[in-house]
Structure 1
């Protein structure tokens, strides 16, 4: 894959109103901004990777499988670190409008943390409980943003992203219960917050951003439509991880826009740590399913 890379100049994309909405609500939908030619190439490459995944017999560095997976009936939940598998994903994460949107939202230099393609399979794609990304991979500050690029229609009926507006302002919530790591903060979410949760419906061409501390999840997919989404996780240049990554990548911490930080910005507080993932991370499905 890509060996040489020149960091592009930042080209501002978002309006002041869009950035203010993101800061206030913790998430933002940017409609019909993603390059269609690049999107088509991403989808075609993803289809090829899915076909290659038929022969995978157990979870690997790149493929996360349902227990029912087989060559005849493939059941792949996630492809991790796709930037390592084909240059088109590197192009999307580093050279496309995504890098500019990420720089707009973190307010300055931004680096890559990880990428993944999530598949919420029809008639059984699992519910994802309420959680915060930052609490799963805490950094010295919470200026993290995930950008979702839908490859298929993302609707309430097929388990689209749900977010709780303003929840990022409450700070980190516990993702442990009774001494076990559950990778959700369900018990910390109030009835009023649940009532305020919004479905982030999106279509191919849209980009949906959410803050590292916004509480989010998704319903099970009970429809006949698969939901396929590329998610790229970015961090401000001055945010440094405290723990081992849940999804490692040879591109982790590569600059996307701007120059590397010479100092870490540290937010005060006591940080609840996730388990040590240095020996490998199973998946959000396995942690929440226990």
Structure 2
């Protein structure tokens, strides 16, 4: 359970880090599953339903930047998000009813861990209310040097920014937009096993990993059970199967929050990396770090 100070920090700043929420045994199982997936990626040459690949990926030098929906492919990832300590924290922040939206495992390997441009998760999946957050599980020690996520404190209480370019959704906001206060962003750091929580409307992004240490970051999106997606529910049975705590409902709760729909769809589909490829305005550089400077 969270302290009142922790709850207040989340409410006011839009983010929180809880240390040691992932134990070493479960973390090792996750890292073992990840190593198997990276080995498996040697057999493919393009993105698919499981893998999102970095530039330069090859069988000889596998470069994976994301595992899609790991909770559907590895039992340990489902077990973690349904564990009581995690659900207790989520209930403190979102209320008694909880639903899993999706999951992903972002890899930032030494030399080529891709940046993620500034954005709000809310731009991708607006709901009837914004009691939604992302759970960030640090599988490695996470620092500013190896590409920690950056969050602008208090930005979750501000506007929903435009994430479009040339009339289409692109999953990134213009970093030159007035009022963003990107210079106030704070790095979300912690030891391996720490877990972060950030509000769905918080402005955040991350730079390339230029260090010699990997930064593997597991993310889950979790909603209050009465938050319904404005883009609709395609399969109501599957929707209810994603409940983590509480009972199904057909009564969505509405809250007056600013919304922009992610329409027309992004020109490049597949992942946020593909969406943002068409943004045209970059904040974070991506360069190739010399091979001899890196280690695993």
- The interval holding the TM-score normalised by the smaller chain is 0.7 to 0.9
Equivalent position SS for 2:43: coil
Q: CA deviation at 1:268?
A: 3.0
Correspondence 1:231 to 2:223: no
Q: 2:44 aligns with which of 43, 53, 56?
A: 56
Equivalent position SS for 2:99: strand
Correspondence 1:131 to 2:119: yes
Q: CA deviation at 1:154?
A: 1.2
Q: What does residue 154 of structure 1 align with?
A: 142
Q: CA deviation at 1:62?
A: 1.1
Deviations 1:101-155 (CA, angstroms, capped at 9, x unpaired): 2222112211111011100122222221111001111111111111111111211
Q: 2:64 aligns with which of 72, 76, 91?
A: 76
Aligned-CA RMSD value: 2.4
Equivalent position SS for 1:54: helix
Q: How does 1:96-135 map to 2 (within 5 A)?
A: 96-135=84-123
Distance verdict in 2 for CA 1:278–1:216, change over 3 Å? closer
Q: CA deviation at 1:187?
A: 4.1
Partners in 2 of 1:276 and 1:165 — Cα distance? 29
Q: CA deviation at 1:175?
A: 0.6
Partners in 2 of 1:212 and 1:235 — Cα distance? 9
Distance verdict in 2 for CA 1:244–1:78, change over 3 Å? farther
Q: 2:158 aligns with which of 161, 167, 170?
A: 170
Q: CA deviation at 1:59?
A: 1.0
Contact 1:172 1:213 in 2 (8 A): yes
Correspondence 1:267 to 2:255: yes
Q: CA deviation at 1:191?
A: 6.7
Distance verdict in 2 for CA 1:14–1:170, change over 3 Å? same
Unaligned regions of 5+ residues in structure 1, if any?
A: 1-12
Distance verdict in 2 for CA 1:252–1:259, change over 3 Å? closer
Distance verdict in 2 for CA 1:81–1:276, change over 3 Å? farther
Q: CA deviation at 1:244?
A: 7.0
Question: How many aligned residue pairs are there?
Answer: 274
What is the TM-score of this pair, normalised by structure 1?
A: 0.87
Q: CA deviation at 1:280?
A: 9.2
Q: What does residue 18 of structure 1 align with?
A: 6
